[in-house]
Chain A
Amino acid sequence: MRQEERNGGCFQKIAIIARLAAQHDDLQPCCTFITMTSTLDDSEKEKARSVSVDLNNDASLLIDIPDALCERDKVKFTVHTKTTLSSFQKPDFSVPRQHEDFIWLHDTLVETEDYAGLIIPPAPPKPDFESPREKMHKLGEGEATMTKEEYTKMKQELEAEYLAVFKKTVQVHEVFLQRLSSHPILSKDRNFQIFLEYDQDLSVRRKNAKETFGSFFKNMVKSADEVIISGIKEVDDFFEQEKTFLLDYSSKIKDSTARAEKMTRSHKNVADDYIHISATLNSLSVDDNTALKKHLEKFADLFEKLRKVEGRVASDEELKLTELLRYYMLDIQAAKDLLYRRARALADYENSNKALDKARLKSKDITQAEEHQQQCLQKFDKLSESGKRELTSFKGRRVVAFRKNLIEMAELEIKHAKNNMALLQGCIELLKSN
């Protein structure tokens, strides 16, 4: 039974929530509750875009995702563009897009030869509602054992988590577009413009099944390439260093991301436990008619307040730490891809040299070979020059982002801990004076 619900995704979830809503009149239907309207004010939006910095500053092309909807299996994003550029038909417009459209745009950019020397911003990860979905199942199963208040609180917690996942996915999709719009070269890409402007469904342009299969092969070939290419002798110190660094860092940051995620999940579990404890303490206090009644009441109340703070600690840690690591893990992958493209160009150049020598030996097709060799060299030089630029700015960007997020995380941790302390000490005083 549960399996179908898992596979059914959003729609099933709507069905479940609708069913729950029927039993408990207080729950809003899924669709409206997860529609994000522009209720976040600008300062909050600014804070939300925390993993990447200095985006969306150029007034000539401003992009954001003010609205999103979860329907059946899919999330529909409303991509809103405000521009002063004449290349666009209108100065202010919006289009609906799905996650797959973003993937198409990303892959198209990756496959564009001209951009071989650029770090293509990593594609946004697929919206993943697995965690709140699991929680909802558990909640449904455990409903009988909980009091009404407990159940309500757990439901609220579930809704909050669902909303958090939703916000996160909107954010990563938004950041992807903003990375593009703030890039001097990529922002002018024709496909990017189509993505922003084309008011019909993009699905005709998206990969069909055959093409997806094709790209799978391409990835396989690429891996083989990587093996060969990492064996190539590097001519440039800068790139040699970068290669060593990125290869090592990439695996380390992947590991850190996974562990940070586990850590923040545990934190959430602790916060959830506080809900159950608070609810039972409440029941105890209601039934109690000794001098303990007030104590239990205050104790229950305290746990309720504490769990809200702990919940915020967990989600702030997730945003500032886990998401930071995750984003740069993907970004580093994109940087690695650039290195590999350049290495391939180097390999091509070296092969063209060999071909030229052969041609000269055979005195056949020398001009062709010379031309080919020149092309390869040019391509390689271009990639190297652009690559150096990109990688340097990447490092700067990375350092700035880490700094910002680590500072913010530390500040939030301090704020929450102080909050906790105030709550705890207040309660202790109250109890001691009783």
Chain B
Amino acid sequence: MAAEMEPPTLGDAGQTDFREIEDGEGFFVSTVTTIESPEPSSSDPPSMPAEGISTNGPKQEDISLDDDPEDLFAEATEEVSLDSPEREPILSDGPSPAITPVTPTAMLTPRMGLGTAEMFERALDEIEEDDSGDTFDMHIAVSDPEKVGDGMNAYMGYKVTTKTSMTIFSKNETTVRRRFSDFLGLHSKLASKYLHIGYIVPPAPEKSIVGMTKVKVGKEDLSSAEFVEKRRSALERYLMRTVKHPILLKDPDVMMFLESSELPRAVSTQALSGAGILRMVNKAADAVNKMTIKMNESDAWFEEKHQQFENLDLQLRKLHASVECLVCHRKELSVNTASFAKSAAMLGNSEDHTALSRALSQLAEVEEKIDQLHQDQAYADFYLFSELLGDYVRLITAVKGVFDHRMKTWSKWQDTQLLLQKKREAESKLQFANKPDKLQQAQDEIKELEGKVQQGEKDFELISKTIRKEVSRFEKERVKDFKVVIIQYLESLVQTQQQLIKYWEAFLPEAKAIA
């Protein structure tokens, strides 16, 4: 696989960047994702910093423009223009809506004809083809956590460095500073745009009141340092996962997040904000709805996959719990080894036989080094193994969410169909009554509903198709991730054993020297 990484179309910077990725930086040495990098265009509207997009590929651009209905497509005709005024609504930092899912109905209204829908679907196909060929050249690092401010209003700022040779980005290397709520805000926007049409949007790291409070209060101890490191690492993985998704990568919000120096504060990610409360209400409503929707699954594939993901979820959670246990016990082992080392040293001091005394002191030193080994191994247990599992448990929640959205889409379609039927019945009744305007109204409504039914069916088919592709991509990623991490983890274990051999072999002659 490494051999495939020849980026013929990319610039020189591409070569170096690749080597970076190859060297196994970070945990996600991903070498394959499909992005076809379009040729840089010279007609970029200057107000769009992330625009390197050529106008000869509007089809592809369409995909990333799923958004609020009160938007560009309302005015577009056959071709979607990328002029700034229309783009702005997408980038608005309005209340990151966690409100009822926005269906891209506007985009694919019958007025547009079937042209756009076809283009959209064809574009999806193209992306699928791209999967096998092109190179993904991007590396994001989250680093340098720094506390900003004081007291309860303090927060951690992180440096986000993006290195890429992909031309959709304006620079090869960008550095910005972001805070945690910015990441949450990004996720929130992506989720609202893509989840309901079947894209698996990687979940953001979780909030932690306890963890953050300690940091805010200024407690400079080991556990808050660990917390910050854990979060930093999680944020990095989150970003990398997000950009590995070919659709999400091109999302303007993502690009803005990575490139623009100032980002409007994502206030609506706070738990107690209006949007936050709305989120909670919607979550509850969703849960209730889920229970009441009984879907006739005509597609065995979905049935099978749904079950599969349920099982996977269970097993991964179990494994995650076991690995967390292991981390805990290994940390304990490290602590106990250190404590034994100290007491062995004291015993050695107290020992009056010289050679034995020296040997005991050496034993104490060995055990001290071993305690450090255990600590390092616990670190590897956690960051390699445990966090991977945790990430996938959350990812699978997103996958299940996408399946649920499909169900909702189906349900909506069915409801519309039922409504249409009722209206038809009502209309036929009106035929005999002598109310011509009511009849006309009924007939108009029926026409509209027929359109909606058609749309509902299309939506359902589209989301089904999207999910199939997404699941396939997800599985590929999962296999890759796990394969890589398993080997890395095993290598960490090997390291520990090698060191153990070294330490004990150094100790052995000391023990033999006791006379």
A interface vs B, CB < 8 Å? 241, 245, 248-249, 252-253, 255-256, 259-260, 262-263, 265-267, 269-270, 273-274, 276-277, 280-281, 283-284, 287, 290-292, 295-296, 299, 302, 306, 395, 398-399, 402-403, 406-407, 410-411, 413-414, 417-418, 420-421, 424-425, 427-428, 431-432
Complex-state Cα separation, A427 to B486, whole angstroms: 10
Complex-state Cα separation, A424 to B497, whole angstroms: 9
A residues within 8 A CB of B119?
none
CB pair A402 B501 closer than 8 Å: no
Complex-state Cα separation, A160 to B97, whole angstroms: 59
CB pair B340 A290 closer than 8 Å: no
Residue of A302, A414, A421 near B508 (CB, 8 A) is A414
Residue of A nearest to B499 (CB): A417
CB pair A417 B508 closer than 8 Å: no
Given contacts A270-B326, A410-B511, contact A263 B479 (CB under 8 A): no
Q: How far is the CB of B378 from chain A (nearest CB, A)?
A: 10
CB pair B363 A266 closer than 8 Å: no
CB pair A259 B340 closer than 8 Å: yes
Q: How far is the CB of B316 from chain A (nearest CB, A)?
A: 7
Residue of A nearest to B481 (CB): A292
Q: Which residues in chain B, 49-79, are within 8 Å of chain A measured between CB atoms?
A: none
CB pair B494 A425 closer than 8 Å: yes
Taking A270-B326, A273-B325, A292-B479 as known contacts, 12 extra A-B pairs with beta carbons closer than 8 A to each other, sorted by chain A number, are A252-B347, A262-B339, A266-B336, A270-B330, A277-B322, A283-B315, A299-B486, A403-B512, A406-B514, A421-B501, A425-B494, A431-B483
CB pair A292 B337 closer than 8 Å: no
B residues within 8 A CB of A410?
504-505, 507-508, 511
A residues within 8 A CB of B326?
270, 273-274, 277
A residues within 8 A CB of B444?
none
Given contacts A263-B336, A287-B312, contact A252 B356 (CB under 8 A): no
Q: Does chain A have a CB within 8 A of B344?
A: yes
Q: How far is the CB of A315 from chain B (nearest CB, A)?
A: 15
Instruction: Identify whether the interface residues of B are mostly helix, strand, loop, or mixed.
Output: helix
Given contacts A256-B344, A281-B319, A283-B315, contact A276 B486 (CB under 8 A): no
Complex-state Cα separation, A421 to B351, whole angstroms: 35
Q: Which residues in chain B, 345-367, are within 8 Å of chain A measured between CB atoms?
A: 346-347, 350-353, 355-356, 359-360, 363
Per-residue CB contact flags for chain B residues 382-394 toward chain A (1 = under 8 Å, else 0) read 0000000000000
Total interface residues on B, CB under 8 Å, equals 54
20 A-B pairs whose Cβ atoms sit less than 8 Å apart in the complex: A252-B343, A256-B346, A256-B347, A260-B340, A270-B329, A276-B325, A283-B315, A284-B312, A284-B315, A287-B312, A399-B353, A407-B508, A410-B504, A410-B507, A413-B504, A417-B504, A418-B501, A424-B493, A427-B490, A431-B486
A residues within 8 A CB of B347?
249, 252-253, 255-256
Residue of B319, B336, B493, B500 near A413 (CB, 8 A) is B500
B residues within 8 A CB of A281?
319
CB pair B332 A266 closer than 8 Å: yes
Complex-state Cα separation, A137 to B475, whole angstroms: 40
CB pair A263 B508 closer than 8 Å: no
Q: Does chain A have a CB within 8 A of B308?
A: yes
Residue of B308, B330, B501 near A417 (CB, 8 A) is B501
Residue of A nearest to B325 (CB): A273
Per-residue CB contact flags for chain B residues 307-337 toward chain A (1 = under 8 Å, else 0) read 0100110011011001101100110110011
A residues within 8 A CB of B475?
290
Complex-state Cα separation, A290 to B472, whole angstroms: 11
Complex-state Cα separation, A53 to B355, whole angstroms: 19
Complex-state Cα separation, A428 to B360, whole angstroms: 37
| Residue from B315, B340, B511 with most neighbouring chain A CB atoms (10 Å) | B340
Per-residue CB contact flags for chain B residues 463-491 toward chain A (1 = under 8 Å, else 0) read 00000000000010011001100110011
CB pair B490 A424 closer than 8 Å: yes
Complex-state Cα separation, A292 to B388, whole angstroms: 15
Complex-state Cα separation, A252 to B319, whole angstroms: 41
Q: How far is the CB of B128 from chain A (nearest CB, A)?
A: 18
CB pair B311 A287 closer than 8 Å: yes
A-B contact count (CB 8 A): 152
Residue of B nearest to A250 (CB): B350
CB pair B336 A428 closer than 8 Å: no
Given contacts A270-B330, A273-B325, A407-B508, contact A402 B315 (CB under 8 A): no
CB pair A277 B494 closer than 8 Å: no
Complex-state Cα separation, A419 to B494, whole angstroms: 11
Q: How far is the CB of B335 from chain A (nearest CB, A)?
A: 8
Q: How far is the CB of A121 from chain B (nearest CB, A)?
A: 21
A residues within 8 A CB of B337?
263, 266
Q: Does chain A have a CB within 8 A of B92?
A: no
Q: Does chain A have a CB within 8 A of B47?
A: no
Q: How far is the CB of B9 from chain A (nearest CB, A)?
A: 29
Residue of A nearest to B482 (CB): A292
B residues within 8 A CB of A403?
356, 359, 511-512, 514
Complex-state Cα separation, A425 to B360, whole angstroms: 33
Complex-state Cα separation, A306 to B493, whole angstroms: 10
Per-residue CB contact flags for chain B residues 217-251 toward chain A (1 = under 8 Å, else 0) read 00000000000000000000000000000000000
Complex-state Cα separation, A262 to B371, whole angstroms: 13
CB pair B319 A280 closer than 8 Å: yes
Residue of A nearest to B476 (CB): A290
| Residue from A262, A273, A290 with most neighbouring chain B CB atoms (10 Å) | A273
A residues within 8 A CB of B308?
287
A residues within 8 A CB of B322?
273, 276-277, 280
CB pair A284 B479 closer than 8 Å: no
| Residue from A283, A295, A414 with most neighbouring chain B CB atoms (10 Å) | A414
Residue of A nearest to B334 (CB): A266
CB pair B315 A262 closer than 8 Å: no
Q: How far is the CB of B393 from chain A (nearest CB, A)?
A: 13
Complex-state Cα separation, A273 to B318, whole angstroms: 12
The 7 closest A-B pairs by CB, nearest first: A266-B333, A403-B514, A406-B511, A273-B326, A259-B340, A276-B322, A417-B500
Residue of A nearest to B315 (CB): A284
A residues within 8 A CB of B332?
266, 269
Residue of B nearest to A412 (CB): B504
Q: How far is the CB of B346 from chain A (nearest CB, A)?
A: 5
CB pair A284 B508 closer than 8 Å: no
Complex-state Cα separation, A259 to B364, whole angstroms: 12
Complex-state Cα separation, A398 to B347, whole angstroms: 14
Complex-state Cα separation, A309 to B511, whole angstroms: 23
B residues within 8 A CB of A277?
319, 322-323, 326
B residues within 8 A CB of A407?
508, 511-512
CB pair A402 B514 closer than 8 Å: yes
Q: How far is the CB of A138 from chain B (nearest CB, A)?
A: 13
Q: Which residues in chain B, 257-298, are within 8 Å of chain A measured between CB atoms?
A: none
CB pair A292 B478 closer than 8 Å: yes
CB pair B359 A406 closer than 8 Å: yes
B residues within 8 A CB of A296?
482
| Residue from B323, B329, B360 with most neighbouring chain A CB atoms (10 Å) | B329
Residue of A280, A414, A428 near B491 (CB, 8 A) is A428
B residues within 8 A CB of A399?
353, 355-356, 514
CB pair B352 A245 closer than 8 Å: yes
